[in-house]
């Protein structure tokens, strides 16, 4: 038994926020699965680093380029192969947990973040192309993403909702998931194997709020906002998925949309390197971590039910920060917009890298 197995027994799954071909071909991913890893996530930044900073893809890239494929088509082919291979390795986890875990996430193009119909079309395309039961299509929690999420769930496509920073961004997402399931029920369709996660970005909240606290001379509140924000989000999750509306779906076999803690590496070197894992351990949650954080937690992380233990204090902590004139709603809105922009930048860099390698 490892710490990852201990977390699973507490109701929390650890997923890896990383993908690269050599991770699978070397057997490292299988070794991590054997140690209790229960899923994987990817995004444009991860694929950009994987393809630009390794030679793992060069041979296949050259073949695809020789076939006259565009850089976008080459990237899609490379990414889809990785997602399929990872999904196949994680399929035993999916089967053993009856569809609770064992997922791999593939994101729609960030260029479509504000395009509902474009998001829907690409999500359907990627879902059909990968053709595995244990994949999530990642869709951002932008205003345009909300109706796309509801439609995809109603069509039977499992969704990882990304780039959530605030409660106001989260609640429409949870309601979209519930509404999508209700549409399926109304059509007499099965909902027992539908799944979704709502990905809250954690450490970036501290990075932004800590800067404001530094300006105001209130360093004693630094390192508080992100965990308090996540705990308040979990409290809202409990209310939404404890409602009578949800219970009607649960009676038909529906699974909750689990909160997923993302961006959980400690950006501030003054903080414990596993702070955003150790402080957010609770039932019906997922934590997706980069490789460095995963290995650090397996080495020296503490396993304890911390998430609910601090929930009463969390709202008070956020109120203290607000009383200083720090507008968390404004900060989190900017973080989401910046997150979309960062993914667009990574995606364009990725396509440029593929184009340059293809030309060579």
Closest CA to 286 of 92, 97, 126, 128: 97
What pLDDT is recorded for position 141?
Answer: 98
Give tens-digit pLDDT for 204-228: 999 999 999 999 999 999 999 999 9
Query: Could you tell me the residue range of the domain that residue 309 belongs to?
Result: 3-359
CATH number at residue 244: 3.20.20.70
Confidence of residue 100 (pLDDT cuts 50, 70, 90): very high
Q: Which long-range contacts (CB under 8 A, 24 or more apart) does 315-323 make?
A: 315/228, 315/232, 315/235, 317/221, 317/224, 317/225, 317/228, 318/225, 318/228, 318/229, 318/232, 320/221, 321/209, 321/213, 321/221, 321/224, 321/225
Give tens-digit pLDDT for 192-209: 999 999 999 999 999 999
For the chain, what is the domain count? 1
288: three-class secondary structure by DSSP: strand
Cβ distance 80 to 107 under 8 Å? no
Give tens-digit pLDDT for 127-142: 999 999 999 999 999 9
Task: Give catalytic residue positions.
Answer: 138
Element (H, E) at 87: helix 71-96
What pLDDT is recorded for position 230?
Answer: 98
Query: Mean pLDDT across the stretch 258-275?
Result: 96
pLDDT surpassing 90 at residue 36: yes
Confidence of residue 346 (pLDDT cuts 50, 70, 90): very high
Closest CA to 283 of 59, 13, 67, 4: 13
Count the neighbouring beta carbons within 10 Å of the beta carbon of residue 292: 12
pLDDT surpassing 90 at residue 360: no
Between CA 168 and CA 143 the distance in angstroms is 11
Cβ distance 277 to 204 under 8 Å? no
In order of 15, 21, 135, the CA distances from 24 in angstroms are 15, 6, 17
Confidence of residue 166 (pLDDT cuts 50, 70, 90): very high
Q: What angle do CA 154, 159, 161 make, to 5 degrees?
A: 120
- Residues with Cβ within 8 Å of 293's Cβ and at least 6 positions away in sequence, in order, are 264, 265, 266, 273, 274, 276, 277
Say what the pTM is: 0.96
333: three-class secondary structure by DSSP: helix
Buried b (16+ CB within 10 A) or exposed e, 226-256: bbbbbbbbbbbbbebbeeeebeebeeeebbb
190: burial class by Cβ within 10 Å (0-12, 13-18, 19+)? exposed
The residue with tokens 């609640």 is 171
Q: For the chain, how long is the longest CA-to-CA vector?
A: 61
pLDDT above 90 covers what percent of the chain?
A: 96
Between CA 340 and CA 326 the distance in angstroms is 23
Q: What is the CA radius of gyration of the chain?
A: 20
Between CA 157 and CA 137 the distance in angstroms is 8
Give tens-digit pLDDT for 295-334: 999 999 999 999 998 888 999 999 999 999 999 999 999 9
pLDDT above 70 covers what percent of the chain?
A: 100
């Amino acid at each position: 038994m490892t710490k990852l197995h201990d977390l699973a027994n507490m109701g929390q799954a650890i997923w890896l926020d990383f993908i690269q071909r050599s991770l699978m071909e070397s057997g490292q991913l299988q070794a991590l699965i054997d140690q209790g890893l229960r899923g994987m996530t990817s995004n444009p930044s991860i694929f950009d680093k994987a393809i630009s900073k390794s030679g793992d893809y060069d041979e296949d890239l050259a073949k695809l380029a020789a076939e006259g494929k565009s850089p976008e088509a080459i990237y899609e082919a490379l990414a889809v192969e990785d997602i399929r291979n990872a999904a196949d390795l994680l399929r035993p986890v999916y089967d053993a947990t009856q569809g609770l875990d064992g997922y791999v996430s593939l994101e729609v193009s960030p260029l479509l973040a504000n395009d509902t119909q474009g998001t829907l079309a690409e999500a359907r395309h990627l879902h059909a192309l990968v053709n595995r039961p244990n994949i999530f299509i990642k869709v951002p929690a932008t205003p345009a993403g909300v109706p796309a999420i509801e439609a995809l769930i109603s069509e039977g496509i499992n969704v990882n909702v990304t780039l959530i920073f605030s409660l106001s961004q989260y609640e429409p997402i949870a309601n979209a998931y519930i509404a999508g399931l209700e549409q399926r029920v109304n059509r007499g369709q099965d909902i027992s194997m539908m799944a979704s996660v709502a990905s809250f970005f954690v450490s970036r909240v501290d990075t932004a709020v800590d800067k404001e606290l530094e300006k105001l001379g209130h360093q004693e509140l630094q390192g508080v906002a992100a965990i308090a924000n996540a705990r308040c989000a979990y409290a809202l999750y409990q209310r939404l998925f404890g409602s009578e509306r949800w219970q009607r779906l649960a009676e038909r076999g529906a699974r909750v949309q689990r909160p997923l803690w993302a961006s959980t590496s400690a950006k501030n070197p003054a903080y414990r390197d596993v702070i955003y894992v150790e402080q957010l351990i609770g039932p019906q949650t997922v934590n997706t971590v980069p490789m460095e954080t995963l290995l650090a937690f397996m080495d020296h992380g503490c396993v304890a039910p911390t998430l609910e233990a601090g929930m009463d204090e969390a709202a008070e902590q956020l109120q203290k920060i607000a009383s200083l004139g720090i507008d968390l709603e404004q900060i989190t809105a900017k973080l989401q917009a910046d997150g979309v922009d960062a993914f667009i930048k990574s995606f364009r860099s990725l396509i440029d890298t593929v184009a340059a390698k293809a030309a060579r």
